[in-house]
């Protein structure tokens, strides 16, 4: 498979779909596919996309890092700190910094760093067959890809420690109960569900969505006073936007607003 086919990207009506395309490896990622994912995410800041969908081809979302890409001796000798700093870390940072919502469409396994790719999305919709795991411990590793930051903020310290220390695989319904995913649906309904939400977000005021995402990220690590100040400053940007003017006008005219993201 050529490198260019490891990640598929389409853009239609403001919806950018990014698909990890290594189904023969359950979409386990190698150095090239991580770089392609980062490029696809980073370029979205300035293109015509309004919302992104991240998914995997075939029967899995992402089965983590591709450990078969090199032999055991090569893996042990690898400078993993350098690899993470130059590969996975910029990808996760780009996902969280992108001023556009990212919808995770998860079917099958989302394990290891693949699980943390999903957690870095802004919304996660899962099929009933979805499976999640911080499986790193099974091969003597700690989580990477932002797992130690993202997971405890969703499920609390003690549950996060349990999931990471055991490497247990949990099903979609348990993931929903823990607050890891927004919704669980039958596979036959997954695309319709994801596409419906993506279309809704693509038609929403882009500046407001960007500030919601930035505000939530800021709020994770700030006190109340800082969060209030962030809201005051960024609400000003929303207030001065064309989308706000359109929203008010549409409300007064009792019609549906047509937002342009400006």
Give the pLDDT mean for 119-135.
98
Distance CA 234, CA 227 (A): 11
Residue 258 domain-assigned? no
Is residue 260 domain-resident?
no
- Whether residue 106 lies inside any domain: the answer is yes
**Same-domain pairing of 177 and 217:** no
The domain total for the chain is 2
If you average pLDDT over residues 91-110, what whole number do you get?
98
- Decide if 162 is inside a domain: yes
**147 and 237 part of one domain:** no
* pLDDT tens-digit readout, 203-230: 999 999 999 999 999 999 898 898 889 8
**Shared domain check, 176 and 238:** no
Whether 248 and 120 share a structural domain: no
pLDDT tens sequence across 180-206: 999 999 999 999 999 999 999 999 999
**Among 162, 179, 202, residue at a domain's last position:** 202
Q: Comparing C-alpha atoms, which of 1, 159, 150 is closest to residue 66?
A: 1
Cα distance between residue 159 and residue 225, in whole Å? 29
- Statement to judge: residues 114 and 227 lie in one domain: no
139 and 214 within one domain: no
Neighbouring CB atoms inside 10 A of 153's CB total 13
> Is the distance from CB of 118 to CB of 138 less than 8 angstroms?
no
pLDDT of amino acid 199: 97
Residue 262 lies in a domain: no
- Residue 261 belongs to a domain: no
Any domain includes 259: no
End residue of a domain, out of 185, 202, 219:
202
Q: Are residues 102 and 217 in the same domain?
A: no
143 part of a folded domain: yes
Q: Are both 187 and 216 inside the same structural domain?
A: no
Q: How confident is the model at residue 262 (pLDDT cuts 50, 70, 90)?
A: confident
The CA dihedral of 5, 10, 16, 22, to the nearest 10 degrees, is -20
Instruction: Report residue 110's pLDDT band, with 50, 70 and 90 as the boundaries.
Output: very high
Same domain, residue pair 9 and 40: yes
Same domain? For 118 and 228 the reply is: no
pLDDT, position 19: 98
The CATH number given to whatever domain includes residue 25 is 3.90.226.10
Q: Which residue has the tokens 């411990």?
A: 137
- For residue 3, what pLDDT band results from cuts at 50, 70 and 90? very low
Co-location of 179 and 221 in the same domain: no
Domain stop point among 202, 221, 241: 202
Q: Indicate which CATH number applies to the domain containing 217.
A: 1.10.12.10
Nearest Cα residue to 91 out of 46, 132, 39, 30: 39
Query: Could you count the other beta carbons within 10 Å of the beta carbon of residue 43?
Result: 13
Residue 71 structural domain:
3-202
Distance of alpha carbon 92 from alpha carbon 14, whole angstroms:
22
Do 122 and 228 belong to one domain? no
Q: Please give the average per-residue pLDDT across 4-14, as a whole number.
A: 94
* Residue bearing tokens 């001796």: 73
The pLDDT value recorded for residue 67 is 84
Mean of all residue pLDDT scores within the chain? 93
């Amino acid at each position: 498979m050529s490198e260019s086919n490891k990640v598929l990207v389409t853009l239609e009506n403001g919806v950018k779909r990014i698909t990890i395309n290594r189904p023969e490896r359950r979409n386990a990622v190698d150095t090239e596919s991580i770089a392609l994912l980062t490029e696809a995410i980073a370029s979205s800041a300035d293109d015509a996309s309004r919302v992104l969908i991240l998914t995997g081809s075939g029967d899995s979302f992402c089965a983590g890092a591709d450990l078969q890409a090199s032999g055991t001796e090569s893996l042990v000798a690898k400078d993993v700190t350098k690899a993470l700093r130059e590969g996975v870390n910029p990808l996760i940072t780009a996902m969280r910094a992108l001023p556009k919502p990212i919808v995770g469409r998860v079917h099958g396994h989302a394990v290891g760093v693949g699980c943390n790719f999903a957690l870095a999305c802004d919304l996660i919709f899962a099929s009933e067959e979805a499976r999640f795991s911080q499986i790193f411990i099974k091969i003597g590793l700690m989580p990477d890809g932002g797992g130690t930051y993202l997971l405890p903020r969703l499920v609390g310290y003690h549950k996060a420690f349990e999931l990471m220390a055991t490497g247990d695989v949990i099903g979609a319904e348990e993931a929903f109960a823990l607050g890891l995913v927004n919704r669980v649906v039958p596979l036959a309904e997954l695309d319709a569900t994801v596409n419906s939400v993506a279309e809704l977000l693509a038609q929403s005021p882009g500046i407001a969505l960007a500030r919601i995402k930035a505000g939530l990220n800021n709020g994770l690590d700030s006190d109340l006073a800082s969060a209030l100040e962030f809201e005051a400053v960024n609400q000003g940007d929303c207030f001065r936007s064309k989308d706000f003017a359109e929203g008010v006008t549409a409300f007064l005219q009792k019609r549906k607003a047509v937002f342009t993201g400006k």
